[in-house]
Amino acid sequence: MEDLRNLVFDIRYLNLHLPKHTHRAYEIIMVLEGELNYFVDNRAYHLPPNSIICITANIIHQNISLNNQLYRAVMIRFSKDFIQTHSDGAEKSNFFYSFYHKTRALRLTVEQAEEARELCVSMFNEFNAKDAEYLHYCHSLLVQLLIKLKRIILMDYESSRVDYPNFLHMKVSKIASYINSHYKETILLTDMAKEFSISEYYLSRNFKTVTGFSFNEYLNTTRINMAKKLLKETGLNVTRIAEEVGFSTITHFGRTFKKIVGLPPRAFRIRSD
């Protein structure tokens, strides 16, 4: 996994599966050709050509290619500071609007897609040429793209939003949302199958298909991401944090944290200071 802690701005073409990950950067993916599924936080999205998804910092996400189908997309990553210079400091307004709206994904018209694609290509060329003041130029192009996305949402959200492609995606997304809200509690596959009126086998198999995570893997990753937030933002000790995020023993918490993050909890806290 890439270390994006010091990333300011990056743009590249994408045609490969990216494993599950989180990072501090904000991310925009525009699908140019082909199609793919993207799982972000607690929601599965089906992205056809000319669609865009905006992913906030520090949330779980990964792309899932459909039956190894080829696709081509452009991926833009940037730090909050890169864009914050032209914001009033409120992430949920202005240029960050499209990251925090009801849906993270938009389906563009042919005309809208052409304008967005032109901005992305110009950003890509400028970033790779690295001529004088190239980051300032990329910044101006990114601001234009973010303003266009905000205007699309404000003008015609209903026709531009990306809906669930089928009932299965909606059902699995609801289960993932439940896990996000109840991660402190004991959550078992058996109980979830009963709660959502489906068989354990169907839930287990299709949760993986839609999200790219096994059921337990998603539950543990959700808990560990919250633990990371508590380690960085509070003074709670590790034992208390383990309890707060739903682990019954400190040993299980420590082992799971290191497996997912690559560091023990205390080492992660020190590195994050």
- For residue 265, the domain's CATH number is 1.10.10.60
User: Are both 195 and 116 inside the same structural domain?
Assistant: no
Counting the structural domains of the chain, the total is: 2
- What does pLDDT average to in each consecutive run of 10 residues of the chain (273 residues)? 70 82 87 88 88 89 74 92 64 69 84 96 97 94 93 79 83 93 94 93 91 92 93 94 96 95 92 77
pLDDT score of 164: 80
Distance CA 243, CA 63 (A): 31
CA distance linking residue 24 with residue 22, whole number of Å: 7
> Is-above-0.85 flag for pTM?
no
Q: Are residues 155 and 175 in the same domain?
A: no
Domain with 82, as residue range(s), is: 9-160
**The domain that contains 47 carries what CATH number?**
2.60.120.280
Output the pLDDT for position 104.
Answer: 83
- Measured between alpha carbons, how far apart are the two ends of the chain, in Å? 21
Residue type, position 26, single letter: Y
* Separation CA 73–CA 120 (nearest Å): 10
Residue 165 located in a structural domain: no
Q: Is there a domain that residue 39 lies in?
A: yes
Task: In whole angstroms, give the CA distance from residue 120 to residue 78.
Answer: 13
